[in-house]
Amino acid sequence: MLSKSQARLFFLIATVGFSGVFLWLTIDSVRQVAARSNAENLTEEVVRGKEIWEHNNCMGCHTLLGEGAYYAPELTKVVERRGKEWMRVFLKDPQAMYPGRRKMVQYNFTDEEIEDVISFFEWIGEIDTNGFPREPDMAPAQVTTVAAASGPKPPAMFSTICAACHSYAGSGGNVGPALDGVGDRYDRPTLRKWLADPAGVKPGTAMPNLNLTDAQLDELTDFLMASSATSGR
């Protein structure tokens, strides 16, 4: 058992020692801020995106850098995970992407505001977070990249948006039907019309109108028709 003088000495040594360690860790952390914070890429668009994030209290549902609520997904690496094209469509109309499932509020963002929000998330995603958030132990039910073993290469729109719900060549989402051989079921004009206005072809369908441009419609239609031909049509 320690005497009073020994206990006092032990307390003083431990206090000074742990204070020194804490001070050293603080100094070391501050020294690394410049290299880790991605401050050199802090543009006006990023600042406006952060203001939109704060004004709409997005942290009331989402977490960012581990801080916030846990009702909705963590968004630190959302650009890397989902891609900018998917985010543009989702932020424009969250409900359209997941009819009857998503609870996110429709904020009616302008195109400029959407780009600002994406710039903010892109900046956040490039911060050196020392491995946070960690990779999931299991693959998600929906993946946003498609890599076919053979056949035509999927266009960017397909890999980042269509693959969130549909699978092709064994990869992709499981919300909608697989798109292997879809060109066997539709001719080119019908398939293009479906992509342009799903509800116009099939009222009540869960597939959203992605408001694709003519160029995107042609690119997706060409890919789906060609992939069917390659698979043995």
What pLDDT score does 100 carry?
Answer: 64
What pLDDT score does 199 carry?
Answer: 86
User: What does the pLDDT average to over 65-91?
Assistant: 89
* pTM reported for the whole predicted model: 0.66
If pLDDT is split at 50, 70 and 90, which confidence band does 144 have?
A: very low
In the predicted model, what is the mean pLDDT of the chain? Answer: 84
Domain final position from 109, 125, 141: 125
Top pLDDT among 15 and 3 is at 15
- 209 within domain boundaries: yes
What pLDDT score does 233 carry?
Answer: 43
**Are residue 105 and residue 169 in the same domain, yes or no?**
no
If pLDDT is split at 50, 70 and 90, which confidence band does 38 have?
A: confident
- 85 within domain boundaries: yes
- 139 within domain boundaries: no
- 68 within domain boundaries: yes
**Are residue 115 and residue 163 in the same domain, yes or no?**
no
Percent of the chain with pLDDT over 70: 88
Q: Is the pLDDT of residue 208 over 70?
A: yes
**Are residue 44 and residue 112 in the same domain, yes or no?**
yes
- 2 within domain boundaries: no
- 16 within domain boundaries: no
CATH number at residue 175: 1.10.760.10
Split into its structural domains, the chain has a count of 2
The domain in which residue 183 lies consists of 156-230
What's CA 185's distance to the chain center, in Å?
32
Q: Is the pLDDT of residue 18 over 90?
A: yes
- 35 within domain boundaries: no
Q: Is the pLDDT of residue 174 over 60?
A: yes
- 45 within domain boundaries: yes
Please give the C-alpha separations between residue 54 and each of 27, 51, 81, 164, in angstroms, as whole numbers.
29, 5, 22, 28
User: What does the pLDDT average to over 144-159?
Assistant: 65
User: What does the pLDDT average to over 82-109?
Assistant: 82
Percent of the chain with pLDDT over 90: 37
Q: Is the pLDDT of residue 72 over 50?
A: yes
